[in-house]
Amino acid sequence: MSCERSLQELNDLSKEIRSEGGVSIKNRVYLFKTYLSCFIGYDLIDWFIKTGHAQTGADAVKLGEDLLNANIIHHVLDRHHFRDHYLFYRFRQDDPPNDVNSGPNVASLKAECGAKFSWAKSPGFVFWCKHYYVLKNEDTTLYEFKTDLDSSPYQKYDLKDATVAVDNSADYCIALKLADLQMGSMWLNLVSSYPSSVLL
């Protein structure tokens, strides 16, 4: 199945979820805070099974995660993957207008056909830091996020004049030499514990 077709199927499914007879989308309160236009994760799981879109709870969670990865829905605070719990999720199109971030979010970048993404460790001041990296297809920008759910990038690196080298002294380690980076080079140790579309 092509990437475009898969995204179209998920968009069609989202219209069905939002239609009459779909999941209840309304303002909800949790710990004295109101979250606008959202639904509950386990309600969507029940709807998937009731309507025949999924046969099991695990299939329904996978379908919800596909909607999240396609940037159609997200956790209202961008702190959770899709789960069969009492967690609030919102359609991106229902986000309040004042929720403007300083760059693309992880899900929107990953939803584009051909995007490459992976967890990687990079050296910090004392310890190696584990961050999430996304490279859009046909783009010269490497986006660095603190988690795979972030709503805006932690850093952006222009790869237009970068050189890439493999560092054989460490497993899965690559060195990027960037023109605009103060220290001149950045080392990434790709983490293979999370199966994904690996960078490079």
| Domain boundaries of the chain, sorted by first residue | 7-94, 106-189
Q: What is the pTM of this model?
A: 0.61
At residue 43 the predicted structure's pLDDT band, cuts being 50, 70 and 90, is very high
- Packing angle, helices 57-69 and 41-50, rounded to 10: 120
Indicate whether 155 pLDDT > 80: no
- Tell me the per-residue pLDDT of 28-42, one tens digit each, with 9 for 90 and over: 888 888 888 899 999
pLDDT band, residue 175 (cuts 50/70/90): low
| Angstrom distances, CA of residue 113 to CA of 107, 143, 166, 196 | 12, 16, 26, 14
Residue type, 53: H
Per-residue pLDDT tens digits for 74-133:
998 888 889 999 999 999 888 877 655 567 877 778 777 777 777 877 666 667 777 888
Instruction: Please provide the CATH number assigned to the domain covering 7-94.
Output: 1.10.10.10
In whole angstroms, what is the distance from residue 124 CA to residue 55 CA?
A: 45
For residue 184, is pLDDT > 90?
A: no
7-94 and 106-189: identical CATH topology: no
Q: What is the spatial distance between Cα 3 and Cα 188, in angstroms, rounded to a whole number?
A: 28
Query: Could you tell me which CATH class the domain 106-189 is placed in?
Result: mainly beta
Q: Do 166 and 174 meet the contact criterion of CB atoms below 8 Å apart?
A: yes
